[in-house]
Amino acid sequence: MDGAMTESTKLPSGQTRINSLEMRGITKRFPGVLASDHVNFDVKSGEVHALLGENGAGKSTLMKILYGLYHPDEGEILLDGKPVTISSPTDSIDLGIGMIHQHFMLVPTLTVAENVALGLPSSRGVLTDLDRVSKRIIELADIYGLKIDPDAYVWQLSVGQQQRVEIIKALYRGAALLILDEPTAVLTPQEVDELFVIMNQMVKDGHALIFISHKLHEVVEISHRVTVLRDGRTIGTRLTSETTKQDLANWMVGREVGFAPNRGQSTLGEVRLSLNEVHCGSDRGTPGLRGVSFDVCSGEILGIAGVSGNGQRELAESITGLRKVTSGRVFLEGQDITNLAPGEITDRMLSYIPEERMRDGMIKDFTIAENMILREHHKQPYSKNGFLNLRGIANHADELIESFRVKTPSRETLAKNLSGGNIQKVVLAREISRNPRVILAAQPTRGLDIGATEYVRQQLIEQRNKGTAVMLVSEDLDEILALSDRIAVVYEGQIMDIVPRENATPEKLGLLMAGVHPEEGAPVVQ
């Protein structure tokens, strides 16, 4: 590169810094949507610039433009003051821009090293040089404090580890500017802390970072500046040090927002869902659930707290018929539903909001209206005698789009063209609106903006107050504490304890989540 470069313009990875990057007057139209409307945005070396905005505000779109995945209709991008054209990811990678996508971009059947090497020239010409790639991965991992095994297959990794692979991928390509699109949405609080350590290190070394998140405390903690988008327009940019969480919330939504939901009144009724000594396997052959028993009653919210991967997924799947229960029984309103087909369980009015909504909760190539009747399509008013009733389907969709404020040009839009948070809303709307007897909600507010989070939480509480039994699986302790009447903590496929809300503190739950009984003070050994 330029021989006159001094050491200080280099990053530890050997790459040249990007001192400043500016997006000016960016406009992007999709059919029926103005996703970016003359947006201005800039980021400098050595800072984290947070991008805030409601679901569908245009954050991902703007970032995909910067990364070369979308082409802007208008506007220009200046790198260190000079205009650049970015027409594909190849261009952006060459310029030193990296991106961590809202939905990870990894090939699960390949190893970490193969994922990193993909698309790069090899030092051995046409042959791969995975051994050298692995060595470099380990070097980079050391510099930035990322623990990763280059030979592991990606499908074996936890979400947090997969994200590290994404970061390594970008650093390996010499990213001086890194875009992180909702990197924390799928992470446990501990993994978020680890990510922030890495991000702080990168900033100190002179990287420029763009950070998107709906969690305001994270934005306040990690960023130097904040820009708010609303309906594709820049509302403004501020120094983080000069704002608070509450300011940001009001600014973003355009009205006062409260953080604590109003719990109202509810009367506890009969047992609706009951598990008795349930055992099941997991995808990796280890025991998934090992003797889980609890009841959920009409009019209560039972929170399931725990670090992800301790059996939450297996729990939800064995109740909904998606996973075989190897021993024990599951009862819905007194009737044995153990190992019934998922459709039969659905028809007994159990609603399920799966954690991986993109994969398990919807059909990406169906319209919103179709997705909204997936569970009830065989019933009136959506169909009669085997014929779909298009009017009924349309009315239903329009009602839900309005009440859940799904941001979409029309009910006929394909689900895959919605923003991440709006995809979530479609699933939530479908499940909550059918007036179920039991709702099983896994991470229901993941990826939602604060307004939508508030709305969904309120909906779950209203369901409870109407007498529905609600089981809420969440890794967000604040959410568990705000909503639950009782809290069950899972650890390694077992229920550690069930604590009434009044006796629950974050500290106590934290210990239980780590497998420690607070009274005994020692880890439980099975």
Ligand X SMILES: Nc1ncnc2c1ncn2[C@@H]1O[C@H](COP(=O)(O)OP(=O)(O)OP(=O)(O)O)[C@@H](O)[C@H]1O
The contact set with ligand X (CB under 6 A) reads: 30, 33, 35, 53, 55-61, 102, 407-408, 417-422, 449
Residue 34 interacts with, from ligand X, other proteins, Mg ion, none (CB under 5-8 Å by kind):
none
With vertex at residue 361, the alpha carbon angle to CA 453 and CA 186, rounded to the nearest 5 degrees, is: 50
**Which of the stretches 65-73, 252-260, 327-335, 505-513 binds other proteins when contact is defined by CB under 8 A?**
65-73
Of residues 67 and 144, the one with the C-beta less far from other proteins: 67
| Part of the chain binding other proteins (CB under 8 A), chosen from 113-121, 137-145, 212-220, 490-498 | 113-121
Residue whose C-alpha is closest to residue 461's, from 434, 488, 485: 485
| Residue 260 engages other proteins in binding (rule: CB under 8 A) | no
Binding status of residue 127 toward other proteins by CB under 8 A: yes
* Strand order across the beta sheet in which 486-491 lies: 350-353, 438-442, 469-473, 301-305, 486-491, 494-500
Q: Is the peptide bond before 381 cis (omega within 30 degrees of 0)?
A: yes
Interface with Mg ion by CB under 5 A: which residues?
60, 102, 420
Nearest residue to ligand X, using CB? Answer: 421
Strand bridging mode 325-332 / 335-336: antiparallel
Other CB atoms within 10 A of residue 10 CB? 16
Q: Which is nearer to other proteins, 67 or 491 (CB)?
A: 67
Question: Which option in ligand X, Mg ion, other proteins, none does residue 93 bind, with CB closer than 5 to 8 A by kind?
Answer: other proteins
Question: Which of the choices ligand X, other proteins, Mg ion, none does residue 114 contact, using the CB cut-off of 5 to 8 A by kind?
Answer: other proteins
Could you say whether residue 122 binds other proteins (CB under 8 A)?
A: yes
| 164: contact with other proteins by CB under 8 A | no
60 or 188, CB closer to Mg ion? 60
For residue 244, give the 3-state DSSP assignment. coil
Q: Judged by CB under 8 A, does residue 114 bind other proteins?
A: yes
By CB under 8 A, name the one of 85, 88, 267, 327 that touches other proteins.
88
Q: Are strands 438-442 and 225-230 parallel, antiparallel or unpaired?
A: unpaired
User: Hunting for tokens 């009924």 — which residue is that?
Assistant: 392
Binding mask 337-356 for other proteins (x = CB under 8 A): --------------------
Instruction: Considering the complex, state which of residue 71 and residue 217 has its C-beta at the smaller distance from other proteins.
Output: 71
Candidates 119, 236, 269, 409; binder of other proteins (CB under 8 A) is: 119
Q: Of all helices (H) and strands (E), which one includes residue 229?
A: strand 225-230
CB atoms within 10 A of CB 385: 4
Which of 27, 70, 218, 281: binder of other proteins (CB under 8 A)? 70
CA distances from 513 to 157, 302, 354, 510, 516 (A): 21, 16, 21, 5, 7
The token pair at 289 is: 């659930």
> Which amino acid, residue 103?
H
Distance CA 407, CA 423 (A): 9
Which of other proteins, Mg ion, ligand X, none sits in contact with 122, Cβ below 5 to 8 A by type?
other proteins
Of the candidate spans 19-27, 78-86, 126-134, 292-300, the one that interacts with other proteins by CB under 8 A turns out to be 126-134
Q: How far is the CB of 59 from Mg ion (least distance, A)?
A: 5
Q: Closer to ligand X by CB, 173 or 225: give it.
A: 225
Residue 121, interface with other proteins (CB under 8 A)?
A: yes
Residue 226 C-beta: closest distance to Mg ion, Å? 16
Nearest to other proteins of 180, 216 (CB atom): 180
Distance between CA atoms of residues 216 and 429, nearest Å = 24
Minimum distance from CB of 70 to ligand X (Å)?
8
Q: Which residue, chain included where needed, has tokens 């689900």?
A: 415
Buried b (16+ CB within 10 A) or exposed e, 73-83: eebebebeeee
Q: What is the DSSP annotation of 359-411?
A: HHS--TTSBHHHHHTTTTTTSTTTEETTEE-HHHHHHHHHHHHHHTT---S-T
- Tokens standing for 51? 């991008």
Does residue 89 belong to the site contacting other proteins (CB under 8 A)? yes
Summarize as ranges the residues that interact with other proteins (CB under 8 A).
67, 69-71, 88-90, 93, 99, 101, 105-110, 114-115, 117-122, 126-128, 169, 416-417
